[in-house]
Amino acid sequence: QVQLQESGPGLVKSSGTLSLTCGVSDDPIASLNWWSWVRQPPGKGLEWIGEIFHDGRARYNPSLKSRVSIKVDKYKNEFSLKLSSVTAADTAVYYCARLNAAIAVKLGDAWFDPWGQGILVTVSS
């Protein structure tokens, strides 16, 4: 059973950089799937942050692109997220998820499964 697990600091200072890692078990990250980050502010909906392929190709939400960087480490079977210049608006539960693209006709037909349990990151002033 594929499992994803987020890890990292739960508290980040305003104007600092948020850094999270997602460990993947029972599925090689060097597959035909993409690996994603999604966040959810308290009491609000889901927002896609970005995703990465094992060869390093990444796609980002245009609204966050200037502040986001996603990297992959095939040897550790994990991928990471960095979000710079954070403010209180970046306080959210951050989820990592596998984007199932291997059997999709095109990338736009893919779906997110499974998801990690999520990690709450609070930006403090």
Q: Is 27 one of the binding residues for other proteins (CB under 8 A)? A: no
Residue 97 phi/psi, 5-degree rounding, is: -155, 150
- Which of 62, 75, 89, 125 touches other proteins (CB under 8 A)? 62
Nearest to other proteins of 51, 90 (CB atom): 51
Nearest to other proteins of 29, 101 (CB atom): 101
Q: What angle do CA 18, 35, 42 make, to 5 degrees?
A: 45
CA distance 109 to 12: 35
Site string for other proteins, 100-119 (x = CB under 8 A): x---x-xxxxxxxxxxxxx-
Site string for other proteins, 29-48 (x = CB under 8 A): -------x-x------xxxx
CA distance 57 to 93: 25
Least spacing, CB of residue 4 vs other proteins, in Å: 9
**Amino acid identity, position 98:** R
* CB neighbour list of residue 14: distance below 8 Å, 6 or more residues apart: 86, 87, 88, 123, 124, 125
Residues that bind other proteins (CB under 8 A): 36, 38, 45-48, 51, 59, 61-62, 95, 100, 104, 106-118
